[in-house]
Structure 1
Amino acid sequence: MSDNSEPTSVRITVPERSSGSDDEPYLRSGPPIQSPGYRVIVPVTETLLDSYTGINVRRFLQTAVALAADNGGRVLLLGIETVADEAELGHVREYIRTEQANQADTNPTIETLENRRTQLAEMSTLAQELTPSVPVSAAVRTVKDLTKGILDVIDDESEVAVLLPRGTGLDQGWLLKRSTIDAVLASAECDVFVEKMGSKGGENALYVPSVDEHTVAPLAESEAETIDSILLPVGAGPHSALAAEAARAVARATGASVTVFHVVPPEASTEARSDGEDLLKFAEYVLGSDVAITTTIKEAADTADAIITETESHDAVSIGAPEQKSQLETLVYGSVQETLSELDELTILMSRDSDQTMRSLYYRWKRGIEAESGESESSK
């Protein structure tokens, strides 16, 4: 572990008592963290920390830090540890209250929490090293229900985005219960990013303190292949602008180029083709002048197949979430994402915009104002 990683700087938090009593404050260990408005919350589960997932943590942290940097914000690594009942939560409360964070405790839950603090301290140190200008903090949240625990933390914050990693237990639902990712996508009143890491992201790199003298490679010794090219499929859906912002963030952090890609059917009208050109121009505007951009319109009978074929020449895909109110959008982009998720080597970053229409209107309004300003300058 890095010398400057301090587990004691990682807070342990618990929710208020289920009774809702007013005399029970929000408990935490460590100093409160003053933060700017925008914060990217990254839930880190025991599946990621305790098992070989094949996920390169360095690459994943790079995405979180890139999203924060692009918005002038910070990152919160949120370790989520579930316990069986209120009695265990009570034990954690007492542990925090009596400031025993540096003392031995034979309770298995407390031992696990201390291990989590060590793991998150290492991850926090690496994330901070990736982009020193982005503040990174970490906390361990002890909850009885994984999904509710994440949603409660999100609801307690303002100006928040959440980045959810696939393959770490968040995308699993039992019987008729939907997964944590599905629940957050449906319920969270904030921007949501869901990332599936491709296997060509480098060697699995996850620090785990010695458990029976077996340790996975430390983060500090890990390497991740860089992202050189990003595919950005664009449509008229309300999440396209946020997908473009996500592509911009990662491109700025990695120096990658972005290919903006739109598909029209062979029999498309002149108006439909013109609308496609407008979508490309809009995406270019969002990406900005400091990102290397290529734009492509392709004729194809099957939009999903065309996008999937195009991914073969790219390292990553940034795509908007399907529009739940549009059956066509769900069929097209839903099938794309389902197929993309089966491609082991491809990294996929999906974006769900909390503001939807307003974000697109803002960009279009701003572009119009700047265009009028440019015309005024040229006429002088």
Structure 2
Amino acid sequence: MPSQSSGGCPVDEGQTSAETPLVAGRFDGDQILVPLLTREVPVLTDQLKVATTLARVTGASLTVINPFPDPEQAPNVYRHEATDCENASLLDWVFEQTDESLPQVESDFLYAWDVVRGVLQAVRRRDVDTLLVPSSSGTSRLRKRMTEQLATHADADVIVVNGQAGFSKAASILLPIASGPHSGLAADVATSIAADYDAWIDILHVIDEEAPDHQRERAETLVEDISHRIARPETTATWVLEAPDTAKAIIDQSRYYGLTVIGAPTKSRLRRFIFGSTNATVRADADSVVLSARNNSDISETR
């Protein structure tokens, strides 16, 4: 696997180019689960706006859960009987944000000694196919760890909302793409949002300035495959950009877009620690809202 310094968008660790499908993963969007893992209003607002947008386009069922790590704060059912005013008010606020966008949003309190384990159990119990969680460059270590654990272990695809706060009706979407298991999911998420907002999509793949011809040909094939998948030729453009640093190139371009959608990291945790991750760098430094899409489905089922 090429290192971060190669400048190109790498394929999965442990797979050769021949083994890795150019485009894999898909967005089903039948059951979307939104756990409220923060009380920060800008982060919550973006999380809910993204969730309602995706649910509106796909006709998905949207469920919001409010996890409780403290057993003394856990009412059995949320209606007017809820005993914790602060948390009941939070769900009331959630309904206010979503009532005009969707005909029905389910909500519930979730009690678990371990919030991560409780959310993972809720994913399995509710047959969730998409988990939408928050993160941000300024988030606490605890929430970063929770988000990473959920993304890694959930029996569902995971969309992480991060980058600059302020998700709104984006006129244009940047879709930096790499071959591998998350490319199709990222493309489908961008397509769903673009369809709802009538937005333009720029498909971007970054290669090293000295990349050999076969890498350039593969890059062109990749962006064309993604463009065909999106199937909106009037509002989609492809772009193979030569640059020495992949993450910096994406960050520089993100300032011109209202939204950036990128696939999850494909390096192992050790390699990310040593070499860094394009995904993590973009999420931390991009000048737009960033959605990171992780395909947790079996790759053989999503080609």
C-alpha distance after superposition, 1:316-336 (max 9, x if no partner): 1100011145988x5899533
Is residue 34–residue 65 contact of structure 2 (8 Å, CA) maintained in 1? yes
Aligned pairs for 1:315-334 within 5 A: 315-324=258-267
> What residue is the counterpart of 1:160 in the other structure?
129
Matched-pair contact (CA < 8 Å) for 1:258–1:291? no
Which residue of structure 1 aligns with residue 54 of structure 2?
67
Tell me if structure 1 keeps the 8 A contact 2:95–2:105. yes
- Kept in 2, the 8 Å contact 1:43–1:78? The answer is yes
Structure 2 gap ranges (5+): 1-27
Q: CA deviation at 1:360?
A: 4.7
Q: 2:256 aligns with which of 299, 313, 316?
A: 313
Structure 1 alignment gaps of length 5 or more: 1-35, 104-109, 202-223, 362-380
Q: 2:100 aligns with which of 121, 129, 147?
A: 129
Using a 3 Å threshold, how does the CA distance of structure 1 residues 286 and 128 change in structure 2: closer, same or farther?
A: farther
- 1:150 counterpart residue number: 119
CA distance in 1, matches of 2:113, 2:75: 12
The aligned residue for residue 190 of structure 1 is 156
Q: Residue 248 of structure 1 aligns to which amino acid in structure 2?
A: T
Give the Cα–Cα distance (whole angstroms) in 1 for the partners of residues 80 and 99 of structure 2.
24
Asked if the contact 2:251/2:282 (under 8 Å) is kept, the reply is yes
The TM-score with structure 2 as length reference comes to 0.78
Separation in structure 1 between the aligned mates of residue 164 and residue 185 of structure 2, nearest angstrom: 21
Aligned equivalents of 1:357 and 1:102: distance in 2? 44
Query: CA–CA distance in 2 between the matches of 1:180 and 1:167?
Result: 13
- Alignment match, 1:260: 203
Say which structure, 1 or 2, has more relative contact order (CA 8 Å, 6+ apart).
2
Do residues 55 (structure 1) and 24 (structure 2) align? no
In structure 1, the partner of 2:7 is none
The amino acid of 2:207's aligned partner reads V
Supply the distance in 1 between the matched residues of 2:57 and 2:286 (Cα, whole angstroms).
28
**Separation (CA, whole Å) in 2 of partners of 1:82 and 1:331:** 29
1:210 alignment counterpart: none
Alignment RMSD = 3.3
Relative distance call for 1:254 and 1:291 in structure 2 (3 A) is farther
Alignment equivalent of 2:237, drawn from 294, 298, 303:
294
Of all paired residues, the percent bearing the same amino acid is 24
| Pairwise CA distance, 1:37 | 8.6
Find the structure with the greater CA-based Rg: 1
| Amino acid across the alignment from 1:352 | R
Count of equivalent residues: 276
